[in-house]
Amino acid sequence: MRVHVIAMGRLRGGPEAELIADYQRRFDRTGRALSLGPLTVMELDDRKGGGPAAEAQLIERAIPQGAVVVPLDERGDRPTSPEFAARLAGWRDDGAGDVAFLIGGADGLAPHLRRGSGGALSLGRMVWPHKLARVMLAEQLYRAASILAGAPYHRD
């Protein structure tokens, strides 16, 4: 199952981009034997500044056809890491070819995108900068693959 992170805005290098690339490599390596991956990160720019409605159009075009859609939203479910791993494995086992995690811009996702087919996901009750949300999601994807592989990383 291919995994996509579709995010508004671009990281222009720096420590966050390095961390994402590191977790992306780790996920791809660990997930390969589990039929998970590759992990792709697609960064979108709303150059016209149209807000959530314009961003929604860009995001919708980037979502693979038939993908399980999982918006990141502070009001979403807050699973434990093992629960998140089980959810990822469930989508894979149910035959999903793609899962797309959505990260909106500064004003969040348009309301209709917050109702993804895979349920909304929260990284906690606190609000995080979008750069860190990407890092945290990439880390949790790698952690999920590690849990599913029975590797000790998830106990760190």
120: which 2 tokens? 């909304």
Q: Tell me the pLDDT of the chain (156 aa) as tens digits.
A: 999 999 999 988 899 999 999 999 999 999 999 999 999 999 999 777 778 888 999 999 999 999 999 999 989 999 999 999 999 999 999 999 999 999 998 888 999 999 888 999 999 988 888 889 999 999 999 999 999 999 987 665
User: CATH top-level class for 2-155?
Assistant: alpha beta
Domain residue spans in the chain? 2-155
Beta bridge partners of 40: 4
Residues 134/20, Cβ–Cβ less than 8 Å: yes
| 122/116 Cα distance (integer angstroms) | 13
C-alpha span between 70 and 96 (Å, rounded): 13
